[in-house]
Structure 1
Amino acid sequence: MSSPKEVRQKRASRIRRVVKKVANGRPRLSVHRSSKNIYAQVIDDVEGVTLAAASTLDANLRSSLKTGADVAAAAAVGKLLAERAKAAGVTDVVFDRGSFIYHGRVKAVAEAAREGGLNF
């Protein structure tokens, strides 16, 4: 029987495979959520580099947030990531939710990034 970690990794790789197939050269907006924080980054898979990143651990975000594990914090991360991605010259991305369901904090990051100017 597979462990929960193996099941989560298999699900994430399956989703990532589909995302990379439909990317058409666009960078990937990858989201990871833990029980205490949320992390997001824009990755260029062709070059293998991170173009922009944001998390609730950033110094300027941490001071303004009550906690790093709520929807408001996730929205702030999405907005900050969109600003940094636009500064790096990225406007079109493909959303990679990893092994996480698209609701709650993951959805808040995506919606805030869209409001910030990213297209996906």
Structure 2
Amino acid sequence: MSTTRKADLLQKRRWRIRKKVFGTAARPRLAVRFTSKHVYAQAIDDEAGTTLAFLSSLDADLRKEKLSANIAGAKSLGVAFAAKAKAAGISSVVFDRSGARYHGKVKVFADAAREGGLAF
């Protein structure tokens, strides 16, 4: 399969998911994105178009742990994101997996965020 075809299929999956997942101020959308090296997570209020909380594996505090885009990195980033979201006043979110299948590191991230106190 060519890389352009693969990218097109991924974008179609993202659009399909985003039709159903919508974040509000009371319950923002938790968008998680895994690249080959890093993990990015943000809580988004889609009504206002603003990001309420953001955390990535490139954060200065998390760089000391040398997190990567694997299961161990997803677990520690999920717990750290839940703490940051709680500090921002966010207690429940809608999970947006950004087109990735809900297994492996995506599932570990979601479970770690739940353990950290976020309600999905």
TM-score > 0.5, shorter chain as reference? yes
| 2:115 aligned residue | 115
Structure 1 residue 17, shift from structure 2 partner = 1.0
Amino acid in the other structure paired with 1:96? D
Count of residue correspondences: 117
* Cα distance between partner residues in 1 of 2:106 and 2:45: 20
Question: Residues 25-64 of structure 1: matches in 2 within 5 Å?
Answer: 26-64=27-65
The amino acid of 2:10's aligned partner reads R
Query: After TM superposition, which residue ranges in structure 1, 4 or more long, deviate above 2 angstroms?
Result: none
CA distance in 2, matches of 1:80, 1:53: 11
**1:31 Cα shift?**
0.7
1:100: how far off?
0.1
Name structure 1 gaps, 5 residues minimum: none
Alpha carbons 1:62, 1:68 under 8 Å: kept? no
CA-CA distance at 1:69 after TM superposition: 2.0
Rounded Cα–Cα distance in structure 1 between residues aligned with 2:6 and 2:79: 31
* Aligned counterparts of 1:13 and 1:81: Cα–Cα separation in 2: 25
> Gaps spanning 5+ residues in structure 2: where?
none
Q: TM-score, normalised by structure 2?
A: 0.89
Residue by residue, what CA displacement relative to the aligned partner does 1:15-62 show, whole Å, maximum 9, x if unpaired? 111112xx5762000010111111111111111111111111111112
| Identity rate, percent | 51
Q: 2:95 matched to which residue of 1?
A: 95
Pairwise CA RMSD: 1.7
Task: Determine the C-alpha separation between the residues in 2 that align with 1:43 and 1:82.
Answer: 14
One-letter amino acid of the counterpart of residue 27, structure 2:
R
